[in-house]
Amino acid sequence: MKRILLAFAAIACVAGPMALGTTQASAQGRDGYDRRDDRRDYRRERRDDRRDYRQDRREDRREARWDRGRHNGYYYRNRWHYGPPPSAYYNDPYYRPGYAAWRRGAYLPSYYRSNDYRIYDYGRYRLRPPPRGYYWYRSGDDYLLAAIATGLIFEVIAR
């Protein structure tokens, strides 16, 4: 009985693929050019898709320009830098503008230390008077107490 089952299984293993192979061969064209043309069309479509993707990436980079209202720093080669980037970075694929929360011990960029961001009437914002050598600065809704000379952030008040 075992011999009969083994013989039947061997015949099924050999005859099964042969039966399927004949049906697939009959479905193909004789000249073989149909498949090659289809392959060319597929390559052309993929190439067009890549062009569209690159164009979208360029447009995204154009929109990702520096905006002081939305960004306080940028990523370049996966490292964070405060302040605006050099103009050469704008077309670089490793450049990405971003926002990072201010933290104590970080340095305030020099352009934030201008008179535009400095708070003179700190009582109006319910802030305590700054100690000697420090100023209050405003960045969006955040208030920063930073050293005048170095820009070292001493205190951050997020509102």
3-class DSSP state for residue 43?
helix
* Residue 101 pLDDT: 84
- How many whole angstroms separate alpha carbon 114 and alpha carbon 83? 13
Place of tokens 């109006």: 124
Exposure string of 95-115, with b = 16+ CB inside 10 Å and e = fewer, is bbbeeeebeeebebeeebbee
Query: What is the C-alpha radius of gyration for the chain, rounded to an integer number of angstroms?
Result: 34
Per the CB < 8 A criterion, the answer to whether 80 and 98 are in contact is: yes
pLDDT in tens, the chain (159 residues): 778 877 877 787 777 666 666 555 555 555 555 555 555 665 666 666 666 655 655 555 555 566 666 677 888 988 888 878 888 888 888 888 887 788 899 998 887 888 888 999 989 999 999 999 999 999 888 899 999 999 999 999 987
Sign of CA dihedral 120, 126, 130, 134: negative
Work out the number of other CB atoms within 10 angstroms of the CB of residue 61: 15
- Give the start-to-end residue ranges of the domains of the chain: 36-63, 66-100, 102-159
Q: Domain 102-159 adopts which CATH fold?
A: Nuclear Transport Factor 2; Chain: A, (3.10.450)
DSSP code of residue 28:
S
Predicted local distance difference test score (pLDDT) of residue 149: 92
Q: What gap in Å lies between CA 37 and CA 5, rounded to an integer?
A: 47
- Note the pLDDT of residue 38: 57
CA distance 39 to 45: 10
